[in-house]
A and B are shown apart, each in its own frame.
Chain A
Amino acid sequence: MLSLENFSHHYANSDFRLGPFNLDVQPGECLGVMGQNGAGKSTLFQILTGNLRLSEGSARFGDQPISISNYALKKRFGYLPQNLELPKWVSAKELFSYAANLYELQNSQDIIESSLDYWDIRHFADRPLTACSHGMKKRVSLGLATIHSPDILILDEPFSGLDLFHIKALQDNIQERKQQKLITILSTHIAPYTASLCSRLVGIRRGELLPVEPWGDKSALEKIEIVESFFFKNET
Chain B
Amino acid sequence: MLRQSLLLVKIFVSSFIRKIRYDFISESVVLVCSSVLLFLFYYMFQDFIHVKMAALDASTRENFAKTFSYILLFVTAYAVTKWTRGESKLEFSTIGQTATRLGTDKVTVAWYRLIQSTLIQICCFVSQWVIINSFFYPFSIGQILGLQTLISAFLFLSLKWSSPQIKKHTAYRGSQKHKQHSPSQALVAWRWQQILFRQRSSRIALTAGGGSAALLVISLFLNKADSLIILLSMAMGFFVGSAIIFQIEEDMKHCWLEKTLGISHERYTSAYLKVGILASLTMSIFLCLTIFTLYFVLGKSFDLVTSLKVIPISSIGPLAVAPLMFQIDPEKSLVQMLLCFFVCLFLGTGIFAHWLFAAAIPILLYYGMKYQKDLFYK
A binding-site residues for B, Cβ under 8 Å: 49-51, 53, 68-69, 71-75, 77, 79, 81, 85-91, 93-94, 96-104, 108-109, 112, 126-128, 130-131, 144
Contact = CB atoms under 8 A, between A and B. Distances in A.
A71 B258 CA distance: 11
Contacts of A101: 180-183, 185-186
Nearest to B253: A85
A101 to B, nearest CB: 4
B67 interface: no
Contact of B250 (A50, A69, A75, A87): A87
A131 B186 contact: no
B262 A72 contact: yes
B168 A102 contact: no
Interface residues of B, number: 38
Interface stretch (B37-45, B136-144, B170-178, B287-295): B170-178
B263 A131 contact: no
A85 B254 contact: yes
B183 A102 contact: yes
A53 B264 CA distance: 14
A97 B190 CA distance: 10
B262 A74 contact: yes
Given A69-B264, A77-B260, A104 B178 contact: no
Given A81-B256, A102-B263, 5 more contacts: A85-B256, A87-B250, A97-B178, A101-B182, A126-B176
* 9 A-B pairs with least C-beta separation: A101-B186, A74-B262, A126-B171, A131-B168, A89-B198, A71-B262, A97-B178, A102-B261, A85-B254
A89 B261 CA distance: 20
Interface string B258-273: 1111111000000000
Nearest to B252: A85
A108 B172 contact: no
A89 B165 contact: yes
8 contacts: A87-B194, A89-B166, A90-B172, A96-B178, A101-B181, A101-B185, A102-B183, A108-B180
A133 B2 CA distance: 35
A104 B183 contact: yes
B296 interface: no
A68 B377 contact: yes
Contacts, number: 99
A75 B166 contact: no
Nearest to A72: B262
Contacts of B260: 49-51, 74, 77, 79
Contacts of B264: 69, 71
A71 B172 contact: no
A51 B172 contact: no
A98 B175 CA distance: 12
B214 to A, nearest CB: 27
Contacts of B250: 87-88
B176 A93 contact: yes
Contacts of B180: 101, 108
B23 to A, nearest CB: 12
B176 A53 contact: no
A50 B258 CA distance: 11
B262 A75 contact: yes
A131 B198 CA distance: 14
A98 B165 contact: no
Nearest to B171: A126
B187 interface: yes
B254 A86 contact: yes
